Amino acid sequence: MTAVPSMALRSLLLVLLLLLCGHAESAEHPSCTNYTKGEFGPTTVDSQDVCKSACETAEGLPVGDYNMAPNSSCACKSNDAKTDRKLCNDNSAAASTSSLVIMVASSVLLTMALL
């Protein structure tokens, strides 16, 4: 019987690790609010024109791709689209926190089911 809790514990740790890695990925890009890098900013990246300017100045890439919904983000690209770099991303803290709570709760339920 000692192998079952050990397997459940390992499963829980694996699930939590995977969920936290996925959650950390969304925080890997800076916020578009008061964005600053090198000679650019601090300026809020909130339009296509500002995104393009930020890409040119901060990343040295000529194309800015601004996306407003559901969370604002700006990605920079080369003219030939071979280079693609995420500049900033505004995920709401509330959405990030609630999704993390849901993921942890799901992990706990999965572990309880394995016991």
Residue 106 has pLDDT above 50, yes or no: yes
Residue 110 has pLDDT above 90, yes or no: no
Domain ranges of the chain: 1-27+92-115, 30-90
C-alpha distance from residue 110 to each of 23, 29, 102 (Å): 19, 31, 12
Which run of H or of E encompasses 12?
helix 3-26
Length of the chain: 115
Residue 44 has pLDDT above 70, yes or no: yes
Extract the tokens encoding 85: 């770099």
Q: What is the pLDDT of residues 45-56, one digit of tens each?
A: 999 999 999 999
Q: Which of 23-27, 51-55, 97-101 has the lowest mean pLDDT?
A: 23-27
Q: How far apart are CA 64 and CA 84, in angstroms?
A: 10
User: Which of 50, 44, 80 is CA-nearest to residue 64?
Assistant: 50
- Prediction pTM value: 0.57
